[in-house]
Chain A
Amino acid sequence: MEAIETLAQQEYKEGWVTDIEMETAPPGLNEDIIRFISAKKKEPEFLLEWRLKAYRHWLTMKEPNWQYMAYPPVDYQDIVYYAAPKNTPQYNSLDEVDPELLATYDKLGIPLEEQKVLAGVAVDAVFDSVSVHTTFKDKLAELGIIFCSFSEAAQEHPDLVEKYLGTVVPYRDNYFATMNSAVFSDGSFCYIPPGVRCPMELSTYFRINTAGTGQFERTLIIADEGSYVSYLEGCTAPMRDENQLHAAVVELVALKDAQIKYSTVQNWYPGDEEGKGGVYNFVTKRGACKGENSKISWTQVETGSAITWKYPSVILQGDHSIGEFYSVALTRNKQVADTGTKMIHVGKNSRSTVVSKGISAGNGQNVYRGRIQVLKKADGARNYTQCDSMLIGDRCGAHTFPYIDVGNNSASVEHEASTARISEDQLFYCKTRGISTEDAISMIINGFCKEVFQELPMEFAVEAKKLLGISLEGSVG
């Protein structure tokens, strides 16, 4: 299996650091730092109060330790909680943007210039903590769509922020979410007015860039009645020696007949072969299908991070609402991915589908942790869960922990699981057809993940396949 091992250890290709002057808060976490952040961002009073409530609550909480992982203790007083690129005007054209920042995007393969033209994708590029460039804003504004940085939203649309912030992930939710609520730096905000179908995919590229800077993005997406939006989140990070904590919160709100599709391709630095230097990714992502017939889909492809701890969830409050979760998680070297989803059925005839594909190579450990909860009043609720694991080599592992909790007799919950290994015989078969081991593995993994990839928007699917070391030649048949 030598070739497989080599592939599994393929070096992280996005490893580089951009040297841009930062305006940085001193390390450490206390009320003064929170006031500093809030003042920097010219936030309304309610937001500062909310942050402080969260901080005070956080002080009473204990770090969770039940996950299937061990990580070195994080010194929260050693983290820098605010870093923004210096001089942060909202640029009118690319010429005004720091050329080094643009070079950064080039290395990521996402030249903004091209993206503007391409496929109608509006890019709200979050560089570290502050939005630097937003495109297509005018076009979106015509439709009444708000797509901007969270900070901007707090200033310009405080009523919307106040109405929805924390309604899906309350500030007391969990250790990392509470911390985020206290110190979040920036993120994206998106509001789609009633009946509007967002004509383009909204896209954000995140990138961790300052050594030792914890990343605490906060994203809030609201789809008002009868609206639709597809949102893309993509991440890569430069190579680092010290672990970087990332604790983001994403809240989605879908009102009656509204639909939100949220796709993520995540490629943070996973650490070296020993797992040293990787990103710790503790994220709280949750959507609420608040209205009847609303729908929220999470699709994610995870290939990065030293440790990932992430359970995008849907609370199915509305009758006939739909929740979906499609996930591919690849772990190699010493990576650990502890992911899964929660589907909480509250409304009648609410439906959920979960498709999870875990790929483990090297010493990678993949954990699927899912909870399907059907509350008493959720007559006719249905869930289907499919959980497949693929093992490459014999030092890796896959673990599945499905929790099912059904409080209504008319509900139906189905769970299917499978584990496969790429066998020598399969690889030999491919070779006798002229296909190299590397290409064969890509092809097999690609096939294994097909159900998830087909949920991704086209350009993202391509990126996802690339991330898995796959060269896509355009399929036939």
Chain B
Amino acid sequence: MALLEIRNLRGGIKDQDIINGIDLTVERGEVHAIMGPNGSGKSTLGKILAGHEEYEETGGTVRFQNKDLFELTPEERANEGMFLAFQYPVEIPGVSNAYFLRAAMNERLKYRSEPEISAGAFRRLLDKKMKQVDMDPELARRPVNEDFSGGEKKRNEIFHMAVLEPTLSILDETDSGLDIDAMRIVAHGINQQRTAENAMIVITHYQRLLDYVVPDYVHVMYQGRIVKSGRKELAFELEEKGYEWIREEVEAAG
């Protein structure tokens, strides 16, 4: 059984579907890149999978770790091992990043009927993960994302992922807004988390990230559908030619 199995998924906001029938199968150990023009529904797909209340599925099925995804609350999905790195991470004033992560970690342990992590063990884990993703320890002490620079917020998302060790990570444009060095560091952080057991869906506009985080598959989304899938070479093709030819192909197909 695949880690994630999306069948003919439809959904969106009230009275309007944004996702118009998506099929996607993600096996453990795989990295899937999703590309596509602005407004094609990439972030919406991520939000529906993660369970944002503003969005609703109107058709199709999604199985995650052999469970019906839509039977799970958003926090259950997270505790099952799903993770969404936000395109626009949210600030949580007054709550320190470390405190927040420890709360998240303990929720996860509780969900799995495991004992809570001790303060000491958690601190050691944080230190290790901070090194892995080259995170400034100061940012762990500060309130979650508050007054972080755009790039720091993105790096913090990867830091969260590293600490929580999800089985399926959906990274929504984690590379955008990063300078060249930061992009390399973030990519390195992502690669550090790749194992044979987990999988990633990487939403991006740029081939450059995929030079570092080499995907097994590349999908192109257009008008709420995956209209083209291929291997990593597809990303080069898109980089070179843009999306016009995809549009033409879709229209030609009617």
A interface, CB within 8 angstroms of B: 420, 423-426, 428-436, 439, 443-444, 446-450, 473-477
Contact = CB atoms under 8 A, between A and B. Distances in A.
B98 interface: yes
Contacts of B86: 429, 432
Contact of B90 (A426, A435, A450): A426
Contact of B96 (A432, A434, A444, A477): A477
B93 A448 contact: yes
Nearest to B54: A424
Contact of B104 (A433, A475, A477): A433
16 contacts: A428-B50, A432-B82, A433-B78, A443-B92, A443-B103, A444-B93, A447-B95, A473-B102, A473-B103, A474-B119, A476-B99, A476-B102, A476-B122, A477-B97, A477-B140, A477-B141
Nearest to A2: B53
B95 A444 contact: yes
B116 A433 contact: no
B131 interface: no
Contacts of A429: 86, 89-90, 92
Contact of A431 (B75, B96, B102, B141): B75
Interface residues of B, number: 44
B104 A434 contact: yes
Interface string B132-160: 00000000110100000000000000001
B84 to A, nearest CB: 5
Nearest to B160: A433
B27 interface: no
A433 B95 contact: no
Contacts of A425: 90
Interface stretch (B105-113, B217-225, B226-234, B241-249): B105-113
A424 B17 CA distance: 21
B67 interface: no
Given A433-B100, A475-B96, A477-B96, A447 B78 contact: no
Given A424-B54, A434-B104, A450 B98 contact: no
A473 B116 contact: yes
B104 A447 contact: no
Nearest to A450: B94
Interface in B111-127: 111, 116, 119, 122-123, 126
Interface string B163-189: 010000000000000000000000000
By CB atoms of chain B within 10 A, which of A423, A426, A449 has the most? A426
Given A435-B103, A477-B99, A428 B143 contact: no
Nearest to B103: A435
Nearest to A429: B90
B94 A434 contact: no
B128 interface: no
A443 B141 CA distance: 15
Nearest to B117: A476
Contacts of A428: 50, 52-53, 74, 90
A428 B74 CA distance: 8
Contact of B75 (A434, A448, A450): A434
Contacts of A436: 75, 107
B64 interface: no
Contact of A447 (B75, B83, B94, B123): B94
A378 B140 CA distance: 43
A430 to B, nearest CB: 7
